[in-house]
Each structure stands twice: as C-alpha cells, then as structure tokens.
Amino acid sequence: MLVVAAVALTRVLDDAQHVAPRPSPAVSVVEPGLATVAVQSLQTAIRDGDSAGAAALAPVGDERSAARLSAIVDNARELDLRSVSLRYVDQASGIDVDGRWSAAVDVSWQIHGFDPGPSRTEVTVHLRSEEGRVAVEYVGGGSRRSPLWLTDRLEVRRTSTTLVMAAASVDDVERYARLAERAVPTVRAVVPTWPGGLVVEVPRTEAGLDRMLDASVGTYSSIAAVTASVDGELSATSPVHVFVNPSQFDRLREQGAQVVMSHEATHAATGAETSRAPLWLIEGFADYVALRDVDLPITTTAAQAIEQVRADGPPAQLPGTAEFDITTAHLGAAYESAWIACALLAERGGETALVALYDATAAGADLDTALEQSFGLSIAQLTGLWQERLADLAL
C-alpha cells in the first residue's frame, strides 16, 4: 500500500494540471502610508492587550512572526506598561525581492510603579509589503536600540520593590529575582530614603545586551552587569535599569552574584548615571554598600588591588576615567582600590559622613570642600592615607 501511494503521489506531482500556481510576486515598492497603518495597529494591539490582533499583523502564513508580535503584547501586559506609543518615522532600508524592508519607528513606554518617566527611543521594525498592506515581521536589530520587551518573549517576576524581566530562555529567572530582592534591604541599610523600585533586565546573550544598549559588539564582554539609562537619555525622569550580561553573571557564585547585584542597585538608588561625584567615589561607594555586611577577608575582596600594588607600588592618585575604562587590564583593581578609599573614610569619620560626602559631590559640591567639611581632610591627605593603606595591605 505504501508503494502504491508513493507512485500515485508521483504521478499527481508530475501532472502539470495538478501543480500549485506560483505565488504572486511580492510588492516591490515601499509604501510608507501602509507601514504607518501597520505600526499604529501594533500600538493599538499593545494598548488593548490584543495578542491575536498583533499576531494578525504578521505576514500571511508566517507563524514565527505572529508569535513574536503576540509576545510583545504579552510582555507589555506582564510589565504593566503605560503610555505606549509607536510612530513611523522613516524608511530605514531598501526593499528586497521578497518585499522585505525596514523602518525607523519612535517608541515610548513606561513601567507603571517603577519608572519615574517614559523611555523613548528609535527602534528598527522589519516589514514585508504584501498585496494591499504592509505586514510586520519583528522588531529590533539594525543600528538602533533593541528594548528587551520588544524583541524577546519574557518571564517577569515582580514584588513591591523589584521587577525582573528575563528572556524566556534564561535558565534561572528565580535566581535573578532573589538577588534583586536581597539587594533592596542591602542598599536601604546605608541609603534608608530609597523606596526601592529596582528593575533588572536579563537578555539571552551578551550580544543581546549590546543591542539593548546600542553598544558595539563586545563592549560589555568583561562586565557582569551595568546600570544605565534605558534610552540613553540622562535626566531626573529617565528610567535607569540594571542590565545583565548573562555570559559573565552566570559564572558567579551566589555571594559574588549578590555583591554585583547590590553594587548595581546602589547605582540605581543613588542616581549614579547623573551624579557629578568623582568616579572613584561613585564606584567605591557602590562597593562599600554591597560589601558592608559580607563576611570575607580583605585579602579576598581586595586581592587584585593588592596584587597590583605588589607589582607596581601604590597608585599616584585615586582612580579616574582611565582606570575605570571597561577595556583596561586592571579594572578589577580600580574598583577594589576605590572601595578601600571609601572604607577608609567610613572608618575615619563614620558611615553618615561618607553618605554626606557622596550626596554633596553628586549634587556638584567641590570634592576638596566636601572632604574638609565631612572628614577634615584635603584630597592630598586622603590620597596619602589611601596609599599607606594599600601599601600596608601589600606587605
């Protein structure tokens, strides 16, 4: 019976009258008006929570694109996004033989209860011209930012003070949620006025992180996490989230991962993105908060700084822009030596004085003046004490 069926099928396929007609050629002209309609329809579907309506915007028979568009609506609902807006801006590529092309689309959104204001950025939307309409294939890529909620199906974990969004393929979303929850009281122990509101974004890959932050490939290859403005804007109302590099973060053991998360949460809590404090104080203070209650010997928490001092002697000055360049060979030592400076200040004048110094310089106060007011020290005197501490540790 199987042989007979195969022969019969072959005869049918060989018979010209039974061959399916060739599909109509794809539309070969870019149609901005129809693209605008498609983009507005996607906006409506997101606002209405209409997953099926979003899926219907995909090219005919393209189940993968339909699933991607449906996921965008589901993500927006899970995140409780408000003020979602999509606006067609311009054609971003030529049209290929299959009718595919891309457009620049201005997008804005706000996570209710977490973001102080809306994020706004241009994204690339991939389109396909069909007879009588323009369909949407997917969002992201190109030379523009690729927000996680628009580019991957998410798993979302929310508490009153934390929100973790992770690509659905991420192995252990619960771990990230747990680390974020623990980071909040760690930060509040030193910065009690912070109400929380920590948002953590976890892409599938390091490349995904680069796309989310519109960074060159490999920019964050040595970084486990970074705190940054969601859309690249720097203002009091710009949402600031913690962005994870899973290829580095997932290598960390529980304690190390917690220190990194608490460090980044400190940045989020203290407005480090817009701070005018010196870099050594911004980074050293974040490590001071993260390591404050960690029971580890200083030979472990400052191992790289100690090694560098043994090799080259104490640095001539407190670490600055060059030392904190993420491509530098001694980045870990820079963080550790900045932490030692902050720990030294807390020992000398108390934690309250350290916080006062951080707040004053973050608001633009002169470092020398603020140091004198809080600790009775000049920058030169602090540098000398810091160098002595490093030298002692290296013995």
In tens, the pLDDT along 265-279 reads 999 999 999 999 999
Checking if the pLDDT of 191 tops 60, the result is: yes
- With H, G, I as helix, E, B as strand and everything else as coil, classify residue 65: helix
pTM: 0.91
Which CATH number fits the domain 152-271, given the four candidates 3.40.250.10, 3.40.50.12280, 3.30.2010.30, 3.90.420.10? Answer: 3.30.2010.30
Checking if the pLDDT of 225 tops 60, the result is: yes
Checking if the pLDDT of 6 tops 60, the result is: no
In tens, the pLDDT along 141-172 reads 989 999 999 999 999 999 999 999 999 988 89
Output the pLDDT for position 15.
42
Sheet with 133-139, edge to edge strand ranges? 81-91, 100-111, 119-130, 133-139
In tens, the pLDDT along 364-393 reads 999 999 999 999 999 999 999 999 999 999
- Averaged pLDDT for residues 68-79: 98
- Averaged pLDDT for residues 259-270: 98
Q: What percent of the chain lies above the pLDDT cut of 70?
A: 93
Domain 32-146: state its class.
alpha beta
For the residues of 110-128, what is the DSSP string, one character each?
Answer: EETTT-SS-EEEEEEEEEE
Whether 27 and 131 have beta carbons less than 8 Å apart is answered as: yes
Output the pLDDT for position 134.
98
Checking if the pLDDT of 50 tops 80, the result is: yes
**C-alpha dist (Å) from residue 179 to 79, 173, 209, 293:** 19, 10, 19, 15
Buried b (16+ CB within 10 A) or exposed e, 152-167: bbbbbbbeebbbbbbb
Whether 193 and 187 have beta carbons less than 8 Å apart is answered as: no
Output the pLDDT for position 5.
37
Token pair of 99 as six digits: 């009718």
Q: Minimum mean pLDDT among 7-11, 20-24, 119-123, 200-204: which range?
A: 7-11
CATH 3.30.2010.30 placement within the chain: 152-271
Q: What percent of the chain lies above the pLDDT cut of 90?
A: 89
CATH 3.10.450.50 placement within the chain: 32-146
